[in-house]
Amino acid sequence: MKVLIILEAGIPSYRNFLFERLTLEKQITELLILHTGKIYNGQGNYKSRKLKFIGTNKLGLHIGIWEYIFKYDVVISSYNLRIITCWLPVFFKKKFIFWGKGLGNNESSFVKLLRQITANKARKILLYNEAKKNEFLAKIKIDESKLIAYTNTIHISNHGFDANNGKEYLLYFGRIQKRKGLIELIYQYNDYLRKIDKAKLFKLRFVGNGEYIGDLKKIVSELNLKHLIEFYPGVFDDISIKKHFANAVAYVSPYNVGLGVVNSLAYGVPIITCKEPQAGPEFYYLNEKNSFVVNDISELSDIFQYLSNNNNQELFSNSYNYFTNHLDSNIMYENFINTIIKVGNE
């Protein structure tokens, strides 16, 4: 069976594990990944090809995609309706699988109609998780058997945690962006320092890259907190990532959590975030046993204080157990390969 995967943009490194495993699958004789050219943090060991892309992420299309569509038995495409060549082939290729998070936050009536038509034309639709699957079913009329909640995750080669590791800091890990609420995080940390016994306090550590770092460092300097708030460049290999999480008491991202949630749970570190705003599907992996989800960012300093004053071993164990039971990369892979084989054999 020959399988073609069409990506809406470039290849993020966290997808390498999936493509590499599919390449080694005995039932797949050939795998090709089509993308727009940008490779994030190194490409994996699989066959890929860059296509010319016209337009923007708001409305665009690949050039040359039709050369490949009919040469492959099964086609998997990003389910992004803004990229015309990600969905138009579904009308010409019978064994077609959509892959994506599901519905956007504010889809127009026209987009919902197009979603309805394309969803019914596809053989299967792989959606990020059960929450996105249920949302899709509530708004789009479709046979539930077509929808697969594949559990979006990443491969982490060294997951696990040491309960005896000393906890030294609150950790933010990821892109340094304004939409994450990081300035507000610094002010909440400053409030926490006023409340807590200095002998029990945790430092605050930022790990990541981004043009917003200068703004954060300026505020840290103004508050005279350079001795308590640390900045480290972004890291991308599992060994370096685990070093930062190993001594973290919690992963804090006030707004818009993403795949950092998976890293955090894989290393037995609970998550602290706000209920809104949240755009990423990874938010649905959080529950009362592995995280603190507050209604307002002003509550963060109280959570920091709680962590300083309590033994959190059960919280660490619950976090890691959630990863092993729900987010191990084998779960995602099995959902993918089983779907491909089923469609290929139809």
Say whether 226 sits in a helix, a strand or coil: coil
pLDDT of residue 203: 97
pLDDT of residue 127: 97
The residues spanned by each domain of the chain are 2-153+328-345, 169-327
Domains 2-153+328-345 and 169-327 equal at CATH topology level: yes
pLDDT tens track for 158-170 = 999 987 789 999 9
pLDDT tens track for 48-87 = 999 999 999 899 999 999 999 999 999 999 999 999 999 9
Please determine, for residue 133, whether its predicted confidence score (pLDDT) is greater than 80: yes
Under CATH, which number does the domain 2-153+328-345 receive?
3.40.50.2000
How many Cβ atoms are within 10 Å of 194's Cβ, its own excluded? 7
pLDDT of residue 40: 79
Q: What is the pTM of this model?
A: 0.90
How large is the average pLDDT for residues 311-332?
95
pLDDT of residue 99: 97
pLDDT of residue 105: 75
CA distance 155 to 55: 32
pLDDT of residue 266: 98
Under CATH, which number does the domain 169-327 receive?
3.40.50.2000
Q: Identify any residues that bridge with 204 across adjacent strands, giving them in sequence order.
A: 170, 229
CA distance 248 to 171: 6
Burial class for 327, CB neighbours closer than 10 Å (0-12, 13-18, 19+): buried
pLDDT of residue 134: 95
Q: Which comes out higher in pLDDT, residue 199 or 134?
A: 134
* 5 Cβ neighbours under 8 A, 6+ residues apart: 19, 31, 32, 33, 34, 75, 76, 77, 99
| Per-chain mean pLDDT for the chain | 95
Query: Could you tell me the pLDDT band of residue 279, with boundaries at 50, 70 and 90?
Result: confident
